[in-house]
Structure 1
Amino acid sequence: MTSKTLNVSILRRELLASFVVFLVALPLSLGIAVASGAPIAAGLIAAVVGGVVAGLIGGSPLQVSGPAAGLTVLVAELVQTYGWRATCTITMLGGLLQILLGASRVARAALAVSPAVVQGMLAGVGVVIVLAQVHVVLGGTPQQSAVANLRELPGQVAHPHTHPALVGGLTVLVLLCWSRLPKEGVLRLVPGPLPAVALGTAVAWLLGWQVPRVHLPDSLLDGWRTPVLPHGSLTGIIGAVISVALVAAVASLLCSVAVDRLRPAGFPAADLDRDLLGQGAANAVSGLLGGLPIASVIVRSTANVDAGGRTRLSPVLHGVWVLVLALACGPLIGQVPLSALAALLVVLGLRLTDLAQVRDLRHHREAPAYFGTLAGVVLLGLGEGVLLGIGIAAVLALRRLTRLSVRTERLVPAPGDGPVPPRRHVVVEGTFTFLGVPRVTRALQEIPAGSSVDLDLNVDFMDHAAFDAVHRWRLAHERQGGRVDIDEVHEAWYERAVTGDMSQPRKTPPPARWWAPWGNRRRRPETELDAPEMSPADVMLNGVREYHGNTARLVRPIMAELAMEQKPQHLFITCVDSRVVPNIITASGPGDLFINRNVGALVPRYGSRTPDDSVSATVEYATSVLDIRTITICGHSNCGAMAALLAAGTEVEHLEGLSRWLRHGNHSLARFLAEEPSGDEPPLTRLCKINVMQQLDNLLTYPWLRERVEAGEIELVGLYLDLKSATVEVLDPGSGTFALVPDEAPRQARTLT
């Protein structure tokens, strides 16, 4: 394909995408202008400037900017308070503030606002839009506030104006039906708002209905006047400028994040700081020309991506189409009924109040912030509602950060231990601050004097008040003959406070509790004294219950991503020994290791007389299907299979299947006997390490695998786990010896080509 053909193809695609976005933007721009109480031309000016200016300067070629429904309530309040021309000045100043924020590279700070607050704000705006525009659909006039609109709504519904209501109802019907058309159909290439408004306009014109219509000046700049300074308190004006700048910025940045999720593979991510510069420039120009505030709009941006837009040409051209239509088709736009635009906004407002989002928020316990913001926007106003939501989100975050749980158990002595003093086990988990001192102190004071106490402090932070309370109780309890054993599971907050070492601890992730064997975690509380001993199956099911209660919710997002496809990085062949847990010694998680476990970590040689395809099948699938590039053989100390080989198989000769399988280890035994021992290493340890080296050699007996290893496509690694020290050694292929894995990875030399 020539560059000329490629350019023509790109141009054709961008032209189509820009026209699709234009069809979406035109009716929405008109409707948002009407709902904001601004001149109709203001919506068209904002659409033109948002397309051209933000499209050229913004941080993502996929985004389309223009007047946004989320700013409707804020703009309407400004128009009522300061007038339209002063609102244009506020918009221009808000744009300049956005430029300063973008130049300061603080764009990502806006993402610190909780999504629950943002979604609640949009839902509140949607409710306000619906309550106001329903009056217009029914032929009436919206009131000054959402509460007043709600109060007057029953009377408006009881006495509607027939023709505007019919036009509005027809518009809603077309929108609903259009969304149910097959996605592959030709009609779906045209966005639903355009045919809905067009049909409502055509019906009203053909039937000669007297309905309120759009009033558009002969020219976009007809009657244009320079923006004026708003009159009022300086504090209020500054607050208005900051509100426009921040609300539009947050809306745009969240749109950028959402569009990034839709971008094609290999397409660069959005530059948020540059995007904020583009939005600021567009708002400054729009305010100067008499347009509405501008923000990135997810509806138009999604339409652009779906239509194939990939360059800045599409957003810019969409603005050009709006300008051409506004200049050439003013009389046609003047025939659009206001009730059709109002019906369009009612549907848009209902979509903003999507309650399906509440399900995820409830899962994360952030629904109060959502509903608080929604109620605040509806009852108090946009700025007040957002501040209320941020306050609720902050309280919820503080509550989560200071959450603390305290459990106390009475431990039962094992049979045959004789008379022993009573023991208590106390577990404190969470963030231990002065807020949790009363609860912990109450639990500790209930412990009888003279008893032995195991106190587990599984806390991620402990302030001085918490330390002081625990330390004073410990000293008092030990003076009365008791014994206190403090175990800090997370970080040594208590120990450092006792020793006076209050340096900042190194941040490490908290260790999981599942690494401890069942037997180490099983304690019988006093309430279970008479309970029968659990069977092994019950112990396992208890472990499943613990997983469901503590771990499943943490790994669920990861497992959901892996549910349909696995992409492991390593094939890990090791022994079935229960003491070897690959995910612990490699600090790996779900989806990282493709594991094959067998007795002795053996790999049958190619063409072996004792056939067994289980290991070779695993290797074939891992390398040919999963495209794994690393194969690891991991042995361990005190391996029972190696001990059986040293004993010539006499200990397991009564186990026919195991005896046949251990024949695959004869090459390891022969190598062990042929090599002279060095040092005082025990024979079993030496055989366990030799077995790792031999199984790596066995892998190379497969011709197809040897070719890929020699070509550098697959790397073979040998590991040895010393059970007693819980350390892992790695094989040095050059010297044939094992050494501890170093604490820090060696620096790799970099070459530039």
Structure 2
Amino acid sequence: MSDLTQFLRRDLPASIVVFLIAIPLSLGIAAASGAPLLAGLVAAVVGGIVAGALGGAPLQVSGPAAGLTVIVAGAVADFGFAGTAAVVALAGIVQILLGVSRLGRAALALSPAVVHGMLAGIGLVIALSQVHVLLGGAPQSSAWANLRDLPAQIVEHHSLSAALGLLTIAVLILWPRFVKVSLLPAALVAVVGVTVLAHVTGADVTRVKLPEEPLAELITPVWPDAPLRQITVAVLTIALVASVESLLSAVAVDRMHDGPRARLNKELIGQGAANTVSGLLGGLPVTGVIVRSSTNVAAGARTRASAIMHGVWVAAFVLLCAGLLERIPMAVLAAVLIVVGLRLIDLGQIRTYARHRELPTYLVTAIGVVAVDLLTGVALGMVTAAAMILWRLTRCEIQTVEQAPGQWSVNIAGTCAFIESARLTREFGAIPPGQEVEVELHLDYLDHGAFETIKNWAETYEKGGGTVRIREVHDSWFHQATSGRLGSNKSTPRLIGSWSRWQGLNHQRRDAMAAGIAEFERSVAPMVRPHLATLAREGQSPEQLFITCADSRVVPNLITASGPGDLFCVRNVGNLVPPHRPAPDHRSRPAAGDTSVGAAIEYAVDVLGVTTITVCGHSGCGAVRALMSGAAPPGSALGDWLGLSGVHFTDVDDEQRCCTDNVLQQLANLRTYPVVQAAEAAGRLRITGMYFDIAEALMHQVDPVLGTHRPLHTPAA
């Protein structure tokens, strides 16, 4: 599909859908922020065009965000809107500096429970203030005041505006449940429908008011008349909150599509540029917005052209059709903001944090934002998160169970530190003397005090006639402490660690295979048994034939993060594919050479229907070195086998290039097989070459034309 065709079929329709959502949301956010309505539209235009063009997340759509409403409202109250515009421009410069300093990922270090708690608190503040607007009143200066005055506001007589607002809320809630048309988003239907109703009935209600000449009415920023410390706090607050919200949104959008991944530092620079321009033009602060971005992806966008064009549509509509916007009742925008604010309180997230025991952090942050202010709420949330981390780090789970008469099991999991010594002593003391006791340790950390407690109890218990066996799972803290090496632990998960790595630490090397099988059956088999049972019942259907070297350092399932049923593997010395040599007729024996590789190729393509064949070489390959030096003479089994490779090296002094040459030759040999030729010609088989750098643990793609290789995946900035 050409770029123009893709734009017309994918990006252009998506940009129109996002534009239709952006108009009402931008107006509503500006109203809730106490800013001129035009400022919200300016931010939508700048967010779409500037952030869309310069950002590092191509499918993310930026604009004014509900998450910054409370902060902007406070800035407007303190500095006036012209001063707030200057603060926004300065915040953009801070974001650019953060991106240039490559601190994009550092913003994601903030606990998600704090971020989502902050957004929930902001959403509640927005909803409480806009309820008063919907009911015909005016919002108060704080969330507490809005909550306090809400009962009185409810019982008072309400105008037609309240009915229009309630109708808008009903449409916003019910429309998505009954109508599944992406081109007709609920916000657009609600705002347009109720506005038309108000116009037809001639309702006398307060409506949107925009300048007659928008370009002439753009607000010029001025330096705020306030102490430098207060200005600095406002700048940093907007910069940091906007950055975190944008980056979290970019990461979330990445999970919704299979296109290019977000480059977070570049995205931060793009967001900073957009905020600087928005501030200079008198607009609200800009962030990446998950609602618009997810709509953009769902509508079929493929490139950043969609985000950019949505900004162009907003600008054109404001300049050419401002009169239509001025027919929208303010109560309708208040209703939109109420629903948007309440949707920031995500019940699914609350359940998730409850399961992960992070609900206190979420609730403390949200309550702090509502009861005090945003910075206090975030600070309280971070303190709570740190306190819970410390509590978890110094906490372990201890279970003492009588397995059978005379046999006891003690399971200790987590972090076992000296402050648990009294609890350990109490648990051990509950075991009757003279029993067989197995102590199973699932430890992330064991300090010397807790080690001494366990060791002293075990020695004392055995002197009293009992038996104690201490068994460690995954790590070897206790055995290291016994040998005087506590604190030097550099654990390797057993699923990826070699036998010598984890069995050597536990002095169990006499039968490595048996110990490895026992560990598999104990800890891994229960997890994979359901999947293996399905494969046993339904048979295998791997996607790839993976041909690689027999070198013990190359582990196909490890370096491809694959599992049972994913790869059909062929391993041999040098990852060779001997050329296909057809016999003269079906009664003759095959020509000299190896047929096992050919049998695997034919079975994989014709029977299993694999869609990809990969030949994977690796660094430091002994077979390639033997071919380079001629160390395997003809007549030996190794020499005869390597003679089937057919490889000719372009530079015998460059070992890496020779390994790559070998991969390219095996790809050529692979294409001599009729089954491969037929499948590739039919478009149902792809052939690729790879090179694994063992020292760097990095996979490279082999260029079939240049004969070079490059990393398959470049880490995101």
TM-score (normalizing by structure 2): 0.69
Is 1:140–1:160's contact at 8 Å kept on the other side of the alignment? Answer: no
Aligned to 1:245: 239
1:281-330 Cα distance to aligned partner (Å, 9 max, x none): 11111112211110011222222223332222222222122222222333
1:459 counterpart (443, 448, 458): 443
| Mapping for residues 198-213 of structure 1, pairs under 5 Å | 198-213=192-207
Once the two structures are TM-superposed, the CA of residue 220 in structure 1 deviates from its matched residue by: 3.0
The alignment status of 1:137 with 2:134, answered yes or no, reads yes
Aligned to 2:210: 216
- AA aligned to 1:197 is V
2:383 counterpart (375, 379, 391): 391
- AA aligned to 1:31 is G
Distance between the aligned counterparts of 1:143 and 1:565, measured in 2?
65
The alignment status of 1:752 with 2:708, answered yes or no, reads yes
| Mapping for residues 400-415 of structure 1, pairs under 5 Å | 400-408=392-400
Is 1:163–1:209's contact at 8 Å kept on the other side of the alignment? Answer: yes
Is 2:397–2:413's contact at 8 Å kept on the other side of the alignment? Answer: yes
Identity of aligned residues (%): 48
Q: Which moved more, 1:472-481 or 1:224-233?
A: 472-481
Change in CA separation of 1:142 and 1:555 when aligned onto 2, cut-off 3 Å: farther
Change in CA separation of 1:90 and 1:510 when aligned onto 2, cut-off 3 Å: farther
Is 2:19–2:311's contact at 8 Å kept on the other side of the alignment? Answer: yes
Change in CA separation of 1:450 and 1:709 when aligned onto 2, cut-off 3 Å: farther
- AA aligned to 2:91 is G
| Mapping for residues 412-561 of structure 1, pairs under 5 Å | 426-445=410-429, 454-473=438-457, 486-502=470-486, 504-509=488-493
The alignment status of 1:332 with 2:316, answered yes or no, reads no
| Mapping for residues 145-294 of structure 1, pairs under 5 Å | 145-183=142-180, 188-263=182-257, 265=258, 267-294=259-286
Distance between the aligned counterparts of 1:138 and 1:472, measured in 2?
71
Aligned to 2:99: 102
Distance between the aligned counterparts of 2:469 and 2:611, measured in 1?
51
- AA aligned to 1:25 is A
Change in CA separation of 1:336 and 1:496 when aligned onto 2, cut-off 3 Å: same
1:522-550 Cα distance to aligned partner (Å, 9 max, x none): xxxxxxxxxxxxxxxxxxxxxx9x999x9
Distance between the aligned counterparts of 2:165 and 2:701, measured in 1?
70
Q: Helix, strand or coil for the counterpart of 2:214?
A: coil
Gaps of 5+ in 1: 414-421, 516-543, 572-582, 596-615, 631-706, 715-741
> Whose Rg is larger?
1
| Mapping for residues 527-676 of structure 1, pairs under 5 Å | 567=542, 591=565, 623-625=607-609
Change in CA separation of 1:298 and 1:491 when aligned onto 2, cut-off 3 Å: closer
Once the two structures are TM-superposed, the CA of residue 20 in structure 1 deviates from its matched residue by: 1.9
Aligned to 2:296: 304
Is 1:130–1:349's contact at 8 Å kept on the other side of the alignment? Answer: yes
Once the two structures are TM-superposed, the CA of residue 57 in structure 1 deviates from its matched residue by: 0.3
Distance between the aligned counterparts of 1:348 and 1:197, measured in 2?
14
Q: CA RMSD in A?
A: 4.5
Once the two structures are TM-superposed, the CA of residue 43 in structure 1 deviates from its matched residue by: 0.4
Distance between the aligned counterparts of 1:80 and 1:465, measured in 2?
56
Is 2:542–2:608's contact at 8 Å kept on the other side of the alignment? Answer: no
Is 2:605–2:675's contact at 8 Å kept on the other side of the alignment? Answer: no
Is 1:405–1:428's contact at 8 Å kept on the other side of the alignment? Answer: yes
- AA aligned to 2:260 is P
The alignment status of 1:382 with 2:379, answered yes or no, reads no
- AA aligned to 2:234 is A
Change in CA separation of 1:433 and 1:587 when aligned onto 2, cut-off 3 Å: farther
1:229-276 Cα distance to aligned partner (Å, 9 max, x none): 33445444333222211111111111111211222x4x2111111111
Aligned to 2:665: none
The alignment status of 1:22 with 2:19, answered yes or no, reads yes
1:171-219 Cα distance to aligned partner (Å, 9 max, x none): 22333443245435xxx52333233222333333333332122221223
1:102-143 Cα distance to aligned partner (Å, 9 max, x none): 111121222223333322222222222211111111111111
The alignment status of 1:65 with 2:58, answered yes or no, reads no
Once the two structures are TM-superposed, the CA of residue 506 in structure 1 deviates from its matched residue by: 2.5
Is 2:433–2:464's contact at 8 Å kept on the other side of the alignment? Answer: yes
1:20-46 Cα distance to aligned partner (Å, 9 max, x none): 221111111011000011111110111
Change in CA separation of 1:375 and 1:712 when aligned onto 2, cut-off 3 Å: farther
Is 1:622–1:628's contact at 8 Å kept on the other side of the alignment? Answer: no
1:29-74 Cα distance to aligned partner (Å, 9 max, x none): 0110000111111101111111111011001221111001111112
1:448-470 Cα distance to aligned partner (Å, 9 max, x none): 77877654443221123323434
Is 2:368–2:377's contact at 8 Å kept on the other side of the alignment? Answer: yes
Distance between the aligned counterparts of 2:701 and 2:87, measured in 1?
56
- AA aligned to 1:272 is L
Q: Which moved more, 1:89-98 or 1:105-114?
A: 105-114
1:378-400 Cα distance to aligned partner (Å, 9 max, x none): 22222222222333333333333
Distance between the aligned counterparts of 2:225 and 2:159, measured in 1?
41
Is 1:568–1:593's contact at 8 Å kept on the other side of the alignment? Answer: yes
Distance between the aligned counterparts of 2:251 and 2:147, measured in 1?
35
1:621-661 Cα distance to aligned partner (Å, 9 max, x none): 9942566979xxxxxxxxxxxxxxxxxxxxxxxxxxxxxxx
Distance between the aligned counterparts of 1:159 and 1:8, measured in 2?
57
Distance between the aligned counterparts of 2:72 and 2:701, measured in 1?
58
- AA aligned to 1:338 is M
TM-score (normalizing by structure 1): 0.66
The alignment status of 1:313 with 2:310, answered yes or no, reads no
